[in-house]
Amino acid sequence: MRPAEVAALGDSACRIPAAPKKGEAETEWGELLLSESRPEVGSGWTDDSASYDKRGLKRRARKATRSVPIPPVLVGMLRMHRATYGTSSDGRFFRAANGGRVRSTEYTEVWKAARQKALSAEDVVTPLAEVPYSLQHASVSLWLSSGVDPAEVARRAGHSVAVPFRFYTKVIKGRQDQDNDRIARALAEQAELPE
């Protein structure tokens, strides 16, 4: 998700399956049904003097939605976050102490502190995961290298189909051996079909 989509994420947009029984692992996928974005634009650019604007999704029709499947680990994290912190009065998952939108300066500070804890001293001085938006890049790269169809990756990430081919060609090209194996298996299966 883009940071502005995370800022707008509401409980009603989350399809989170029931928690597993005690002692069992989280195995069910959930879904986010995204329909809103709250980009930070500055109070001089909004009608109500808020520091953010309420908009539809980037490069989509105003009322368009985007369905994003979420893996079991994220399902568990969202369930735990909701149980621990609840939601804002308007149902958003993430909010500032006073209930408003978390500002980019706040989450950037938290991101920098998290990088210091999570990365080695050598990696902290590199551009690795330099900004929160790096998470989307990492997700798209993981999906592509796992063999997910580039069109499906683009749909989940809210990109045009051209984006994976334009910006992630190293990842796509790096799985040529996997693709060759898939084609070989398909050809072998076709050869085994009775006439």
- Indicate the domain borders of the chain: 1-101, 133-195
- Confidence (pLDDT) at 51: 65
Give the C-alpha distances (Å, rounded to integers) separating 193 from 9, 69, 161. Answer: 49, 35, 34
- Name residues of the chain where pLDDT drops below 70: 39, 42-53, 56-57, 59-61, 174, 195
Tell me, what's the pLDDT at 112? Answer: 93
Instruction: Return d(Cα 136, Cα 102) in angstroms, integer.
Output: 19
Give every CB contact of residue 122 below 8 A, 6+ residues apart in sequence: none
What integer pLDDT is reported at residue 57 of this predicted model? 66
Predicted pLDDT at 15? 93
DSSP per residue, 7-53: HH-BGGGEE-PPPPPTTPPP---EEEEE--B--B--GGGSTT--SB-
pTM here is: 0.71
State pLDDT tens for residues 8-25.
888 889 999 999 999 999
Residue 49 pLDDT: 65
